[in-house]
Amino acid sequence: MSLPLSQMTLLRPRSLDQALRLLGEEPTLRPLAGCTDVYVALQFGQPAAGRYLDLWGLDELRGVRRGRDGRLVLGALCTWTELQRSALVRRHLPMLAAAAREVGGPQVQNRGTLGGNVANGSPAGDGLPVLAAAEATVVLGSARGQRWLAFTEFYTGYRATQRRPDELILAFEVEPLEGRQWFRKVGTRAAQAISKVVMAAVRAPRPRLALGSVGPTVLRLPKTEAALAASAPMEECQRLLQEEIAPIDDVRSTAAYRRHVCSALLDRFWSETAPPRRGKQR
């Protein structure tokens, strides 16, 4: 790959305030962090000429901590490696730790960030179903201030988000979750594969299901969730699931295979998270 470096400029702010100011003055700046998506896009012919904003050095956006009311605050620059290792994530959001282990290989996990995964907005992004099932809140910041958005409302279409051009994703907040968390990624091989289907789910009185790679963006399945909550037969839940997903044929898989896998994953999620002692809930 030969980048048109003479037509490319990198701005390297020293602080978050400076970064937000720069972006406010010039909203066409392209933010970059771990570059595991940005540099791949450039390789695939996305026009590379332009001005870039380097977020990688902004330590304010790193780290996992407990916030108000016990909520988990995940900095946008948390890498997959950090998320796997974080004791807070492993304890309170184990489905995110599971997802982090399945992204690429160690080289990508050391650089790729949760904020970048969300900002890139690929329907196959492995972190997205987790945030959707966890009903996370996205914290957006600009020179004008901060605002909080429900993650489930963040995407407005294929790779389209509610982020305004002068905003950066600062963090994700997740309130304490009841119930058992479950995550499964189905790809061509165990590592280094982009998802054919990816699912995150929570087994609680109000079950939550989120699926990636089966629609223009990450999907929650409210009808299927309601049927599970009402202890409907699995076949009925699977039928509703099939109504709620919209997979396509593409380079990674076919719509038919994705449909088959989704039904199988739903069954597996429900049986694997079944409360012990009681009989099978079918």
Partner 1 sequence: MKFTLNGRRVEVEAHPLARLLDVLREECGLTGTKEGCGEGECGACTVLLDGRPVNACLVPFAHAEGARVSTVEGLKDRRLRAAFVDEGGAQCGFCTPGMLMAAAALPKGFDEQGLKRGLAGNLCRCTGYTAIYRAVEKSRARRAPARPKVRRAAPKRPARRRSA
Calculate helix-pair angle for 234-244, 255-272, nearest 10 degrees.
Answer: 140
Residue bearing tokens 């309601």: 226
Instruction: Choose the binding region for partner 1 from 40-48, 63-71, 171-179, 199-207 (rule: CB under 8 A).
Output: 40-48
Torsion of CA 212, 216, 218, 222, to 10 degrees: -110
What are the start-end ranges of the E strands in 117-196?
A: 137-142, 145-150, 155-157, 160-161, 168-174, 180-186
Instruction: Choose the binding region for partner 1 from 8-16, 172-180, 236-244, 267-275 (rule: CB under 8 A).
Output: 8-16
Is residue 44 at the binding interface for partner 1, with CB under 8 A as the rule? Answer: yes
Instruction: Choose the binding region for partner 1 from 34-42, 199-207, 262-270, 272-280 (rule: CB under 8 A).
Output: 34-42
User: How many other β-carbons are positioned within 10 Å of the β-carbon of residue 67?
Assistant: 13
Our CB check for partner 1 shows the closer of 5 and 246 to be 5
CA dist list (Å): 21 to 59, 81, 142, 145, 202: 17, 30, 8, 11, 39
**CB of 178: closest distance to partner 1 in angstroms?**
31
Is residue 252 at the binding interface for partner 1, with CB under 8 A as the rule? Answer: no
> Of 55-74, which residues contact partner 1 (CB under 8 A)?
56
CA dist list (Å): 175 to 133, 204, 234: 12, 14, 29
Our CB check for partner 1 shows the closer of 56 and 257 to be 56
Please tell me the distance from the alpha carbon of residue 152 to that of residue 187, in angstroms, as a whole number. 24
Our CB check for partner 1 shows the closer of 187 and 247 to be 187
Our CB check for partner 1 shows the closer of 80 and 270 to be 80
Taking residues 96 to 115 in sequence order and writing x for each that binds partner 1 by CB under 8 A, - otherwise, the string is -----x--xxxxx-xx----
Instruction: Choose the binding region for partner 1 from 119-127, 185-193, 215-223, 270-278 (rule: CB under 8 A).
Output: 185-193
Please tell me the distance from the alpha carbon of residue 248 to that of residue 267, in angstroms, as a whole number. 22
Task: Give the footprint of partner 1 on this chain (CB under 8 A).
Answer: 1, 3, 5, 8, 10, 12, 32, 34-36, 39-40, 43-44, 52, 54, 56, 81, 101, 104-108, 110-111, 190-192
